[in-house]
């Protein structure tokens, strides 16, 4: 399983990319709206200088023709850009058209296996399953991921699953166990993943023991 970071904050991306643990970045209009005063194209290009991997940038309309036009603009900025389209009839239609133009797509806000199947049928590069939001309506998000991965593998679909809507560390573990190809993780959870009080205690014990003998390294 690969890890992406779910943010448009340049400092966050720089830090986690520096660890060597992420392979891509996902964003959406809500994420970009929190970066006040930032020009979209400028920030996109800044991100790609830090991490030249898949970067999902989402369209801001439900109109099919506007989606395609907006997507083509974004894709013209870099071959690393993946255009996010909504999981609806217009988004599926747009994903199909964009795929025929060799533009990578990410069908987003998927909540069911049926929707994930449709994304694969139109040849989407990625299908984004929103884990916690599935749980919000009382459905079994692990089963949605598991069934989708099984379906993709058996049918030979090339679409990769991205699991997003992560709200705590256990969600990351559950997504991995269920078989996602990629989990996209908010910055704060990367920090939490790297920290454990028992690890800190153990390392400090080692350092204190070494310092007592004061041998040069």
Where in the sequence numbering do the catalytic residues fall?
84
Strand, helix or coil for residue 183: strand
- Is the Cβ–Cβ distance between 82 and 126 less than 8 Å? yes
Q: Would strands 160-164 and 182-185 be described as parallel, antiparallel, or unpaired?
A: parallel
Output the six-digit token pair for 27: 């964003």
Instruction: Please list the helix, strand and coil fractions of the chain in percent, rounded to the nearest 5, in that order.
Output: 55, 20, 30
Q: How far apart are CA 154 and CA 134, in angstroms?
A: 24
Query: Of 38, 107, 37, whose CA–CA distance to 67 is shortest?
Result: 107
Measured in residues, the chain has a length of 217
H or E stretch at 56:
strand 55-58
Q: Please, what is the Cα angle at 60 between 57 and 64, to 5 degrees?
A: 105
For 99, list phi and psi in degrees, rounded to 5: -60, -35
- Is the Cβ–Cβ distance between 58 and 36 less than 8 Å? no
């Amino acid at each position: 399983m690969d890890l992406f970071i779910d943010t448009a904050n340049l400092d966050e991306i720089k830090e986690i990319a520096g660890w060597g643990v992420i392979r891509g970045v996902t964003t959406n209009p809500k994420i970009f709206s929190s970066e006040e005063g930032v020009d979209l194209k400028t920030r996109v290009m800044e991100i790609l200088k830090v991490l030249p991997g898949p970067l999902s940038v989402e369209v801001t309309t439900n109109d099919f023709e506007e989606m395609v036009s907006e997507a083509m603009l974004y894709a013209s900025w870099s071959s690393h850009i993946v255009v996010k389209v909504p999981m609806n009839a217009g988004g599926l239609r747009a994903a199909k058209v964009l795929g025929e133009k060799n533009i990578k797509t990410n069908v987003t806000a998927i909540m069911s296996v049926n929707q994930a199947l449709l994304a694969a049928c139109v040849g989407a590069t990625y299908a984004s399953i929103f884990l916690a939001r599935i749980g919000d309506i009382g459905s079994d998000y692990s089963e949605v991921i598991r069934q989708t991965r099984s379906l993709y593998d058996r049918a030979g679909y090339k679409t990769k699953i991205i699991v997003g809507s992560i709200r705590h560390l256990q969600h990351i573990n559950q997504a991995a166990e269920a078989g996602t190809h990629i989990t996209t993780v908010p910055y704060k959870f990367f920090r939490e993943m790297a920290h454990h009080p028992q690890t800190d205690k153990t390392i400090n014990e080692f350092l204190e023991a070494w310092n007592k003998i004061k041998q040069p390294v």
